[in-house]
Amino acid sequence: MLPQRQEKPRARGRTMMIDGGIPTAQFVDIIESHGDLVDTVKFGWGTALVTEQLQWKIDAALRNGVEFYFGGTLFEKYVSQDRFDDWRRFVDGFGARSVEISNGTIALSNDRKADYIRRVAGDYTVYSEVGYKESERSETMRPELWVRYIRQDLDAGSDTVITEARESGKSGIARANGELRYGLIEEILESGIDIDRIMFETPTKELQTYFIRRVGPNVNVGNIAHADLVPLETLRLGLRSDTLLALDASIDPDFDDGPFDERHDLRLQGEDTHA
């Protein structure tokens, strides 16, 4: 018996694969081999501008039922140069149905970011991002601000809010040493926000394991490397030792491994749960 997983197109349990410059033939092979495990591809940061065969990659993704969008840093680059309309023309030139709106690097308030979300929400599926690329800046951002900004983005028309962790897993919801900010995550999970509209960036096995055990096998996760697509799915299904016992306990109420909700045991002893 395995956890239930939705068929694509999924509303929950979504996986976003990041492409930071995968060679075209390899990308096509990955998507054709594992497209059933990928819901959307993010062409990371500004790689779309320097990928000569970008259209080939996009065609392969769409052919295999995988959506795509360009990283939020590309949006920020255009906005920082007062070229928002040029950004839209670039996005439309590739037929993108999804976009990412973020303020992880540039001096853009969340109020202004929400304004940009409103401007595009009627035309695209909007992913927005909360959190900063710079780890020191993110670590001083109070949990209540994270919750407020997530709500503000959703109210502005964002379909899914991504919580920053970068491709390294060492910023945003994680500390500079890669340790998760457990208290922050609890504030988000206990806020009453629809968890299916949040995507947690989990580029490392440790982060993937934590969120699958804490939230469940159908948590939305992003910044997944292509080599981790199959391993991630085995974590979701309890086919790897890291999640086997916890997910068996969630399926079988008589399984004696403690309640599924008591997954806080993953925290280190003495961890501060308020930041």
Beta-ladder partners of 99: 126
What is the percent of the chain with per-residue pLDDT over 90, rounded to a whole number?
Answer: 83
Amino acid found at 106: I
Find out whether 130 and 138 touch, Cβ atoms under 8 Å: no
- Over residues 63-107, the pLDDT tens digits come to 999 999 999 999 999 999 999 999 999 999 999 999 999 999 999
pTM of the predicted protein model: 0.90
Distance CA 74, CA 71 (A): 6
- Over residues 65-77, the pLDDT tens digits come to 999 999 999 999 9
What's the whole-number mean pLDDT along residues 24-48? 98
Checking if the pLDDT of 196 tops 90, the result is: yes
Q: What is the 3-state secondary structure (H, E, C) of 195-222?
A: HHHEEEECCCHHHHHHHHHHCCCCCCEE
Distance CA 60, CA 240 (A): 30
Triad 116, 39, 266: Cα angle to 5°:
95
Find out whether 102 and 73 touch, Cβ atoms under 8 Å: yes
**Looking at beta carbons, which pairs linking 81-88 to residues 24 or more positions away fall under 8 Å?**
84/116, 88/120
Distance CA 205, CA 120 (A): 34
In the chain, where does DSSP find H-type helix? Answer: 24-34, 54-63, 72-80, 84-93, 110-120, 135-139, 143-156, 182-189, 205-214, 229-236, 241-251
Distance CA 145, CA 228 (A): 31
Checking if the pLDDT of 254 tops 70, the result is: no
Q: At what angle do helices 72-80 and 84-93 cross, to 10 degrees?
A: 140
Checking if the pLDDT of 253 tops 90, the result is: no
Mean pLDDT of the chain: 92
CATH topology of domain 15-266: TIM Barrel (3.20.20)
Q: How confident is the model at residue 132 (pLDDT cuts 50, 70, 90)?
A: very high
